[in-house]
Amino acid sequence: MLKKLFGLAPKLESDGSFSPSKLALKLATAGKTDFENISYNKYQGKQSKILVIFTEQKNMEMKNGKSFSTGNHPVEALVPMLHLQNAGFEFEIATPTGKPVVFEMWAFPEKDEQVKRIYNQYKASFKQPKKLEAFVDDSLQNADTYAAVFVPGGHGAMLGIPSDENVGKILRWAHESDKYTITLCHGPGSLLSTALNDQPFLYQGYNMAVFPDSVDNMTPKIGYLPGLMPWGLSEKLKSLGVNLMNSKSDKTVCLDRKLITGASPLAANELGKLAAQTLLAALK
């Protein structure tokens, strides 16, 4: 009762899951993003496509058995997409089985017209995305039309995607085809897919910006999460030889070889700028 009184209780959703408390939403979300509407010299070459791998799963079970209402964080997905679109790139939207993209709509910046515009532009693709298996079967041979793979964050990126063999195949394809991989916050969980079936982890020794487990462990206190995480992403990556570049949920971004990463939703604008500038410079 005291948690409810002070706005600390997670909100119970109709499906039995919990979304963040009033206080958590006030502290961790905003009606408008810090997106900078930059006019880049648009890329006009053949490698104009970016595959965006979204989660199709909504509920993450915490250690206490309660479910967190998650999905892809809209800011982490759409703000980098705005920068890449301004730089001349277009997107192919995909989920593991072709089910609709799930967003954390409680985090949607309703007062941000640019974010709303690109969301509406790709809304049909979010509802009917491509199946990753179909991409593997049909598109891996067309490497010369793709510039990058982008895996947005949100806790939902830790559901299914790290254990999906097709994600691992696509990330290895991107690596071997000299394409960029872009991801942020909890999205780097996707990189774990490269170690499936006893294969060597592709990113051992890489520098990365990743959402810290230490922050995830604190957020139940303000009702952001309804319990402790089922497993820790940053510590898992660290155990595989990743060098973590941040200790806070901040604007840190990192470029290491062909991997571009960001620390949190706060890094979405900086990640978008870094990705756009890096791809434009590489594809001259």
In contact, 258 and 181? CB cutoff 8 Å? yes
Active site residue 185: yes
Distance between CA 225 and CA 64 in Å, rounded?
Answer: 11
At 61, is the secondary structure helix, strand, or coil? strand
User: How many structural domains are present in the chain?
Assistant: 1
In what helix (H) or strand (E) does residue 53 lie, and over which residues does it extend?
Answer: strand 49-53
**Residue 113 belongs to a domain:** yes
**Phi, psi for 128 (deg, rounded to 5):** -130, 70
CA atoms within 13 A on the CB side of 201: 17
Please give the share of the chain, as a percent, with pLDDT higher than 90.
Answer: 94
Q: What is the mean pLDDT of residues 223-242?
A: 97
How far does Cα 117 stand from its chain's mean position?
19
Of 81, 101, 174, 185, catalytic: 185
Q: What is the mean pLDDT of residues 209-231?
A: 97
**Residue 120 belongs to a domain:** yes
**Residue 8 belongs to a domain:** no
Specify the pLDDT at position 197. 95
Say which CATH number the domain at 239 has. Answer: 3.40.50.880
**Residue 116 belongs to a domain:** yes
Q: What is the mean pLDDT of residues 240-249?
A: 97
Distance between CA 169 and CA 131 in Å, rounded?
Answer: 14
Which DSSP state fits 58? -
Specify the pLDDT at position 187. 98
Higher pLDDT, 52 or 1: 52
Dihedral sign computed on CA atoms, order 277, 115, 148, 40: negative
106 is in which domain, residue-wise?
16-22+41-282
DSSP alpha helices (H): ranges in 38-158? 74-86, 113-121, 123-127, 132-138
6-58 residue pLDDT tens = 568 999 999 999 999 999 999 999 999 999 999 999 999 999 999 999 999 99
153-196 residue pLDDT tens = 999 999 999 999 999 999 999 999 999 999 999 999 999 999 99
Distance between CA 21 and CA 19 in Å, rounded?
Answer: 7
**Residue 10 belongs to a domain:** no
As a dihedral over the C-alpha atoms of residue 74, residue 79, residue 80, residue 85, rounded to 10 degrees, the angle is 120
pLDDT(4) > 90: no
Task: Select from 78, 65, 59, 18 the least CA-distant residue to 219.
Answer: 18
Specify the pLDDT at position 273. 98
pLDDT(2) > 50: no
Distance between CA 150 and CA 30 in Å, rounded?
Answer: 23
pLDDT(198) > 80: yes
Specify the pLDDT at position 7. 63
**Residue 235 belongs to a domain:** yes
Specify the pLDDT at position 8. 82
Q: What is the mean pLDDT of residues 140-160?
A: 94
Specify the pLDDT at position 234. 97
Type of residue at 166: N
Q: Indicate the pTM of the whole model.
A: 0.96
Mean pLDDT for all residues in the chain: 95
**Residue 35 belongs to a domain:** no
Cα dist. 25→28, 148, 174, 270 in Å? Answer: 5, 32, 36, 22
Please give the share of the chain, as a percent, with pLDDT higher than 70.
Answer: 98
107-135 residue pLDDT tens = 999 999 999 999 999 999 999 999 999 99
In what helix (H) or strand (E) does residue 1 lie, and over which residues does it extend?
Answer: none
Q: What is the mean pLDDT of residues 76-92?
A: 98
Which DSSP state fits 44? -
How far does Cα 174 stand from its chain's mean position?
17
**Residue 3 belongs to a domain:** no
Specify the pLDDT at position 1. 52
In contact, 78 and 119? CB cutoff 8 Å? yes
In contact, 71 and 107? CB cutoff 8 Å? no
